[in-house]
A and B are shown apart, each in its own frame.
Chain A
Amino acid sequence: MLQRLTIAERQLALAISIAVILAGLLMAAAGSGDPMGPHGAIVMFAGAIVFLAVLRVIQDPEPLEDRAENYYDDPTRVGLLISLGWAVIGMGMGVWVAAQLAWPDLRFDAAWSSFGRIRPVHTSGVIFGFGGNALIATSFHVMQRTSRARLAGHVAPWFVLLGFNLFCVIAASGYLMGVTQSKEYAEPEWYADLWLVVVWVIYFVLYIRTLARRNEPHIYVANWYYLAFILVVAVLHIVNNLAVPASFAGAKSYSAFAGVQDAMTQWWYGHNAVAFFLTAGFLGMLYYFLPKRAERPIYSYRLSILSFWGITFFYIWAGSHHLHYTALPQWVQTLGMTFSVMLLVPSWASAGNALMTLNGAWHKVRDDATLRFMMVAAVFYGLSTFEGSFMAVRAVNSLSHYTDWTVGHVHAGAMGWVALITFGSIYAVVPTLWQRETMYSWKLVEWHFWLALAGTVIYVFAMWNSGITQGLMWRTYTESGTLTYSFTDTLVAMHPYYVARAAGGALFLAGAILAAINVYLTIRNVPQKRTEGDYPTPSEATEPAVPVAE
């Protein structure tokens, strides 16, 4: 694989890996006695692996192929495999986390295994590890195909992919050691945050440079979304993570903001991590793989425009719906609530655009589990955005906030939408990438689909029930006008739902494991032929029609 790099590129990779090793050494030395020390060791180790891998091929001859002739898919392949690895780890942690709430003693007698420490391993593991890798990998794939151009660089994609995973590993191992800023979805400490900025800037440059090479006059919708994902996540990440380290030789830092300003910044970030990480990026995936698999044209270009700008503009305002009735001034809550409701229309426009695209291909949805994954994902996308806008209404939020209803909403989005569209895309793209006709076993895909759907439905229903039950119990008054239930009463009522959730999660996890097995079996013995047509072709395009109605 690395033989495909030129010798100059190999040297560059070697130099970068040496720089990483040195940085790790510095961290390990400065941070001895602090969790930063082990992190330094991890960084060194990561650098060393890359160093050795490149060193092994450094003497090999220059690649002979004409690299402009085909797409550069090696990083995509590796990215997808890593993504599947994280899926199993992250969802495995999810099942454990769920089980701990049902049976709290289901843990080791060690600090690292407590709920508060492993929960972020689950959330970061699935969002960043599973979701992030899938986004990076598919963005490389989609960007090249829709631009009819090879990636702009050969070291940069590896840097982005591996650098991002180094961030994920530092994050997850950090939580277990107690390294966290306790800012939801932004928990990693300052040095991990800084590293992610570096990785992200390279990602953006790579993306823009590849787009600049394109052989198409127009940029396809999927790329608008990937671009929005890259850009806005960068802005959110940088602002929300502004912090002052207590010492450059230690992990601990203090957020630059405090109290109400910190709360608003955090949920401006948190909500838009949903919007631009868990939504925009995956809409990019949807807009490429769904029409491709269904072999149908996108239902409406104009709807794409409307929903893209709607989502980009309205989402940003909605963060304060996480802070209804709090010490955040009410005027901000009003804006958060109204914009969340207005946001529903562009959201449904995307979901509708996807579903209407399937018109004329519904028989395929029936027969092809891969396409069904994407279809159901679009449905759950519509469902969770509707639910989100509903929960953003202050009166509803007064009940749902702080309860499992939120967790149910999250997983309708995360399992039903994010995970399903990702699995669908993986099943669609793996055969292409490894030059196979199809996946190793369509039956396994079918099994996975039903396990995932059952798991999601059980999970979400359990959480709706427990959330609404708990929310109502908290606010139930006796005839005398006094509270009916103590907090402990509500805890007891939650137990059956927590058991059900763990069971649903286990089904979902089982599906993810099947996916990993199926992909593994598919890619054994890769044949060396190129798929017909899967290479950059000179553009035949001239100016397409302007978007006016017929």
Chain B
Amino acid sequence: MSVKERDPLTGHQTTGHEWNGITELNTRVPRAIWFFIIVTHVWALFYWVLMPAWPTVNTYTKGLLGVDQRQQVEARVAAADAKRSSWSDPITSLTLDEVRSDPTLMAHVQRTAPALFGDNCAACHGAQAQGGPGYPSLVDQAWLWGADDETVLETLRVGINAPHPESRFSQMMAFGRDGLLDREQIRIAADYVQSLSRPAEEINADRLAAGATLFEENCASCHGEDGTGSQDLGAPDLTDEHWIYGGDEKSIFNTIFHGRQGWMPAWEQRLSETERRILTIYLGQLKETHHDD
């Protein structure tokens, strides 16, 4: 097929070749293609001149604009910081009560807190800070360390049993595992603990008395004579209806047998002081809107 043929449809010449029935036209490269090649290449050239682009052996061309992605983002973050300072500075320097009484500042708190809480706290304390097994509710009236602003702020900063040098430390001893009490004793103690929050329930009086003695000897040092706990030690009140690990027989048994040492992360490295303050205010608000059922 060496004879060049013309395609009857387009009138273009073929290249004169044929592969198993396939032929090719010798059409020019369309003008638009050249146009876009030029546009894209010229654009690329400009870009290379302006930006870091071509490597040499041990360095690279830095570009006329002197742009660097790391400096750019740092500048952007710093600028955003500066922009926020009109409201973040007061939140950091005023007392939280003063912040609470300033509607403009509170508007910023309201806007900022949900995502902050969602990204950092909700995983443990739940989306509504309602808590879950192993993680205390932050909206009930029971506090391990205290509900005042200073205490909560400090808890957030250093965490509880966290790998932070100043972390709060608290531990519920493992009476069973460490052989301080035997299983029966633990069962008795557990019954006693349950009776603290449910005095109405019928429990054998002897057993209760034995439990009281056990409690007196082993537990009162932390949870207090009457079992109302100690916020100095982070030991929970056992007489209320709020439980971290569960108030059923089995959970209480496990708590006493294996001990507990909840780990609340320290947020000093991860969240700024402003952010921790915002969260503290937010928790207070959640508590107000929360209805115990």
Contact = CB atoms under 8 A, between A and B. Distances in A.
Do A and B touch (CB < 8 Å)?
Answer: yes
Contact of A299 (B27, B60, B117): B27
A334 B44 CA distance: 9
Nearest to B27: A300
A298 B25 contact: yes
Interface string B87-130: 10000000000000000000110011011111100100001000
Contact of B51 (A298, A334, A480, A542): A334
B87 A487 contact: no
Nearest to A295: B21
B22 A297 contact: yes
18 contacts: A216-B19, A220-B22, A300-B27, A300-B30, A301-B27, A330-B51, A331-B54, A334-B63, A344-B40, A479-B111, A480-B108, A482-B112, A482-B116, A483-B119, A541-B1, A544-B2, A545-B16, A547-B26
Of B10, B29, B47, B55, most A-chain CB atoms within 10 Å: B29
A148 B18 CA distance: 11
Given A334-B47, A345-B33, A298 B115 contact: no
A334 B49 CA distance: 11
A296 B40 CA distance: 32
Interface in B19-59: 19-30, 33, 36-37, 40-41, 43-44, 47-48, 51-55
Interface of B: 1-2, 4, 7, 9-10, 12-30, 33, 36-37, 40-41, 43-44, 47-48, 51-55, 60-61, 63, 67-69, 80, 83-84, 87, 107-108, 111-112, 114-119, 122, 127
Contacts of B122: 486, 488
B47 A338 contact: yes
For the complex of A and B, list the 5 residue pairs with the smallest distance between their C-beta atoms, beginning with the closest. Answer: A486-B118, A544-B17, A300-B27, A338-B44, A360-B9
A332 B13 CA distance: 44
Contacts of B10: 359-360
A329 interface: yes
A329 B28 contact: no
A302 interface: yes
Given A325-B69, A345-B33, 18 more contacts: A300-B27, A300-B28, A303-B27, A303-B33, A329-B52, A331-B52, A342-B37, A342-B41, A349-B29, A352-B30, A480-B87, A482-B116, A484-B115, A486-B117, A488-B122, A488-B127, A541-B17, A544-B2
A209 interface: no
B13 A550 contact: yes
Contact of B115 (A359, A482, A547): A482
Given A297-B22, A349-B33, A544 B115 contact: no
A291 interface: yes
A288 B15 contact: no
A541 B2 contact: yes
B13 A545 contact: yes
B33 to A, nearest CB: 6
Contacts of B52: 329-331, 334
Contacts of A348: 33, 36
Contacts of A543: 2
A540 interface: yes
B123 to A, nearest CB: 9
B176 to A, nearest CB: 31
A300 B29 contact: yes
A549 interface: yes
Nearest to A482: B112
Contacts of A303: 27, 29-30, 33
Contact of A300 (B21, B26, B43): B26
A360 B23 CA distance: 15
B25 A329 contact: no
A478 to B, nearest CB: 4
A145 B18 CA distance: 11
A331 B23 contact: no
B14 A297 contact: yes
Contacts of B17: 216, 218, 541, 544-545
A298 B19 CA distance: 11
B162 to A, nearest CB: 22
A213 interface: no
Contacts of A302: 26-29
B130 to A, nearest CB: 15
Nearest to A545: B16
